[in-house]
């Protein structure tokens, strides 16, 4: 199998552990921004994830 996974490793892994790994999302304090905001930020040099008055 590709990606470095071996079938016995997958077979011997607890299903809940696999679900935990798959659902493990990094919690972040930064605001998610869309493509347009990201593009505007690239042009203006301002980070749209920063909240107003944070500087």
pLDDT tens sequence across 1-55? 456 666 676 666 677 777 777 766 655 555 666 777 777 777 887 776 665 554 4
pTM above 0.85, yes or no: no
Alpha helix ranges (H) inside the chain = 7-11, 15-23, 35-44
Check residue 25 and report its DSSP letter.
-
pLDDT at 37: 77
Number of domains in the chain: 1
* Residue 52 is assigned to a structural domain of this protein: no
Domain enclosing residue 39, as ranges: 7-44
pLDDT at 54: 46
Cβ-contact 51, 31 below 8 angstroms: yes
pLDDT at 55: 44
* Residue 49 is assigned to a structural domain of this protein: no
């Amino acid at each position: 199998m590709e990606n470095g996974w071996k079938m016995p490793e997958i077979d011997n892994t607890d299903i809940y552990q696999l679900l935990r790994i798959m659902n493990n999302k990094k919690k972040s304090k930064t605001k998610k921004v869309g493509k347009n905001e990201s593009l505007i930020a690239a042009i203006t040099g301002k980070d749209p994830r920063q909240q107003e008055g944070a500087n």
